[in-house]
A and B are shown apart, each in its own frame.
Chain A
Amino acid sequence: MALPAAGPGVAVACEVHDLSHRYGRRTGLEPVSFALQGPGVAAVTGPNGVGKSTLLRILAGLLRPQRGASALSVAGRPIGPSERRCWVGYASPELSFYDELSSEENLRFAAETRGLAEPGAAAGAALARVGLASRAADRVAALSSGMKQRLRLAFALLHRPPVLLLDEPGSHMDEEGRVMLAGVVDRERRTGLVLIATNEEREWRLAEQRIELRGRGLGHPA
């Protein structure tokens, strides 16, 4: 099946209806509904444990919600949960890499597995975008927390997806890293939908829309 290619300013729609999830007896995400249109940037904010990361995991297709539904479409084509990994770039603190491989080898592996045409070039370009080109040959185990965070961002950008889901993208980053992050988000806002889960004012100010999760089932675009 041919998939529509993502390009400059591709239309992305994300609609969430009555979405909720529980981890055993603990509430992971109280019911939330919203609709977003891309290109653009939206922020998901709210207290710790309110379900920001859970929401992003559901949207990325990593977690099946117990109630409700999420719909994602790119250029009018609906993207089901099982194929979202092809269309979504996902970066979160829970994302870890193979310590015994270098940054470049980790990204090249991801590019090869995704079936990208030129894995080496894609990995190099992604590392350059986040300012990690000079550390490409270093094993991940030798990277600092901030560099690992940059690598997560490079992983999300690797296949140039039309949807970026960034969970606390600036954590552990120094000032230069945060400026780089703002630059990446600014470029991506023109080509697709960027959703940032954060409580950092500097990060949610990058967004033109904001979804406030308050843990009372009242999530909505503010």
Chain B
Amino acid sequence: MPSNGSSSGAAVWAILRKECRSEWRTRYGLNAALLFAITTLTSVSFAVGRLTDRTDMLSALLWVVLLFAALASLSHAFVREVEGHTLTLLRLVASPTAIALGKLLFNLLFLAVIEAVTVPLYLALMGAPPPRWGAFLALLGLGSLALACATTLVGAVISQTRGRGALFAGVSLPLLLPILAASVSGTRAQWLGGAIGPEARLLAAYAAALLAVSLVLYDHVWED
């Protein structure tokens, strides 16, 4: 009996579970990301010691480590499908929007796992002052959402191009800079006792805009 293709929620959920299972079995991105985060934090800790009173450095370091730890895996969400020749299978069973949303949720989950390991280690090794947890977690969540939206969108667009490595860097740079700037600024503000409202609103609006653009574009991304 042909499926009617209307159960896009089920398709997104199935794709998310498949991504988790594939990642768990291959550890394609997880090991590399954790290795990068742990070695970077350890090296910086040995080199400069604790940065308790340098909230500017602490904020920048947190987001640089998170970005570079996760970037290789985030950008390869679609490239792996192209290089493994499995994109045809995916296109035959799900709509482009369901595929992209499944990948986006996986990227978000991947970032959350990286953060669950990296952030406690960072707070301990860098001697960061105790954060205001509500504001700190809100910034982490919104920054991660915006990062995942941007990298998923760029990954989908460049996946079938030649020279996609160089293209990813070129296309994602202008999309990632506002996210990093707002996240670093907001993280510093929460340590200084300031308001994080402007940065949080900016990140939320940016993520919403990227998601909206993505939903419009995804249906046309893989048309040959």
B1 touches A113 (CB 8 A): no
- The interface size bin for chain B is 20 to 34
**Residue numbers in A under 8 Å from B89 (CB-CB):** 95-97, 106, 110, 155
CB < 8 Å: which of B6, B22, B26, B90 contacts A115? Answer: B6
In the bound complex, what is the Cα–Cα distance between A57 and B42 (angstroms)?
A: 51
Whether A113 contacts B84 by the Cβ 8 Å rule is no
Q: In whole Å, how far is B84's beta carbon from the nearest beta carbon of chain A? A: 6
B94 within 8 A of A: yes
Cβ-based interface call for A160 (8 A): yes
Interface residue ranges of B12-36 to A (CB < 8 Å): 13-15, 17-18, 21-22, 25-26
Q: Which listed residue (B2, B17, B86, B91) contacts A3, Cβ 8 A?
A: B2
Task: Flag whether A137 is at the interface (Cβ < 8 A).
Answer: no
Verify A114–B26 contact, CB threshold 8 A.
no
Q: Which of B2, B4, B86 contacts A97 (CB 8 A)?
A: B86
Given that A64-B224, A99-B84 are contacting pairs, would A109 and B92 also be in contact in the complex, using a CB cutoff of 8 Å? no
A-B contact count (CB 8 A): 100
**Interface residue? A214 (CB, 8 A):** no
**Does B92 contact A96, Cβ atoms closer than 8 Å?**
no
Give the size of the chain A interface in residues (CB under 8 angstroms). 38
- Asked if B3 is at the interface (CB within 8 A of a chain A CB), the reply is yes
Which A152-200 residues have C-beta < 8 A from chain B?
A: 155, 159-162
Question: B residues within 8 A CB of A101?
Answer: 18, 21-22, 25
Considering the complex, give the chain B residue whose CB is closest to the CB of A23. Answer: B224
Q: How far is the CA of A113 from the CA of B88 in the complex (A)?
A: 14
A113 x B26 contact (CB < 8 A): no
Is B5 in contact with chain A by the CB < 8 A criterion? yes
Contact among A87, A106, A109 for B2, CB-based, below 8 A: A87
B93 within 8 A of A: yes
Q: Are A85 and B93 in contact (CB under 8 A)?
A: yes
Instruction: Determine the chain A residues whose CB is within 8 A of the CB of B84 once the complex forms.
Output: 96, 98-99
Q: How far, in whole Å, are A115 and B8 apart by their CA atoms in the complex?
A: 8
Which residues from A are CB-within-8-Å of B1?
5-6, 116, 159-160
**Is B161 engaged at the interface, CB distance under 8 Å to the other chain?**
no
Q: For A15, what are the chain B residues with a Cβ–Cβ distance below 8 Å? A: none
In the complex, chain B residues whose CB is within 8 Å of the CB of A207: none
| Across-interface contacts of A114 in B (CB, < 8 A) | 3, 5, 11, 93-94
Instruction: Report the separation of the CA atoms of residues A114 and B5 in the bound assembly, to the nearest whole angstrom.
Output: 6
Not counting A112-B11, A113-B10, A115-B11, a sample of 9 additional A-B residue pairs whose C-beta atoms are within 8 angstroms of each other reads A5-B1, A85-B92, A86-B5, A98-B86, A110-B89, A110-B93, A113-B11, A113-B15, A115-B10
18 contacts between A and B (CB under 8 A): A2-B4, A5-B1, A6-B2, A82-B95, A86-B4, A96-B84, A97-B89, A100-B25, A105-B21, A106-B89, A109-B93, A113-B14, A113-B15, A114-B93, A114-B94, A115-B4, A155-B89, A159-B3
